Amino acid sequence: MKFTTLLGTATLLLGCAFVQAADFEANGLELNDLWVRASVPGQVNGAGYLQIANKTAHADRLLSVESDAATRIELHNVITENGVAQMRQVQGIDIPAGGAARLSPGGYHVMFLQLTAPFKQDGKIPVVLKFEKAGEVRVNFTVKPPTYNPPSQTDGADHSHGHGASMKH
C-alpha cells in the first residue's frame, strides 16, 4: 500500500471520528442541544431551547410541544418594543428547507408554564415536539445548572430578535 493511500485512509477515519451525530433525528430533521435551566426555589415556569436543522427539500414548522413537565406549554418569541423585551406566544416556528431554526435565550423558545415539578439539574425532561410535516418527535431536554448560559453562536440561523434590559411576560 502506498504511503499516500495510507495517509488518505487515516485522514478519512480521523475525520469520521469528529462527525457528531444529531441528538435526535426524525423525518429529515436533526434536533440538537436541547436544554432547560434547573429551577430555583419558588420558580413556577421554565424555558426550553434547541437547534433544529432541516435536511429536506421542503420547509417545515414546529407547531406545538407536549410534556407532563408543565400544565401548559407554549411557543414564545422575545420582541423588543420601546426598549423593553416582552415574551409573546407564537403559533409556530418555521424551519426553512435546507435551513435551520435556533430556539435560544432572547429569541424563540419553548415556554413551560406551571411546572408540575421543579427541573432538577442533570435530569431529563421528556417532550413531544409536533411538526407540520415531520409529525411527532419524542425528545429529552437536558437540565443544565440554573446559571447556565450557552456560548454565543453566530452562524446566521439564529431566529432571536434581540433583547432589552428588562423583560415583561
Span 109-123, average pLDDT: 98
Span 135-161, average pLDDT: 77
DSSP state of 19: P
CA 70 to chain centre: 17
pLDDT confidence band for 166 (50 / 70 / 90): very low
Task: Report yes or no on 17 lying in a domain.
Answer: no
pLDDT confidence band for 151 (50 / 70 / 90): confident
Task: Report yes or no on 16 lying in a domain.
Answer: no
CA 33 to chain centre: 6
Tell me the CATH number at 46.
Answer: 2.60.40.1890
In the predicted structure, residue 22 carries a pLDDT above the cut 50? yes
pLDDT confidence band for 1 (50 / 70 / 90): low
Task: Report yes or no on 2 lying in a domain.
Answer: no
Span 142-161, average pLDDT: 70
With b meaning 16 or more CB within 10 Å and e meaning fewer, what string describes 19-43? Answer: eeeeebebebbbbbbbebbbbeeee
Average pLDDT of the chain to the nearest whole number: 84
As beta bridge partners, residue 112 has 46, 73
Task: Report yes or no on 45 lying in a domain.
Answer: yes
CA distance 25 to 31: 6
Task: Report yes or no on 129 lying in a domain.
Answer: yes
- Nearest in space to 48 (alpha carbons), one of 75, 85, 79: 75
Query: Total domain count for the chain?
Result: 1
Task: Report yes or no on 3 lying in a domain.
Answer: no
Give the domain range for residue 33: 23-147+155-168
What are the tens digits of pLDDT across the range 31-81? 999 999 999 999 999 999 999 999 999 999 999 999 999 999 999 999 999
Task: Report yes or no on 72 lying in a domain.
Answer: yes
Kindly report which listed range (13-27, 46-60, 80-94) carries the lowest average pLDDT score.
13-27
pLDDT confidence band for 157 (50 / 70 / 90): very low
Task: Report yes or no on 159 lying in a domain.
Answer: yes
Do 79 and 86 touch, CB atoms closer than 8 A? Answer: yes
What are the tens digits of pLDDT across the range 4-13? 444 444 444 4
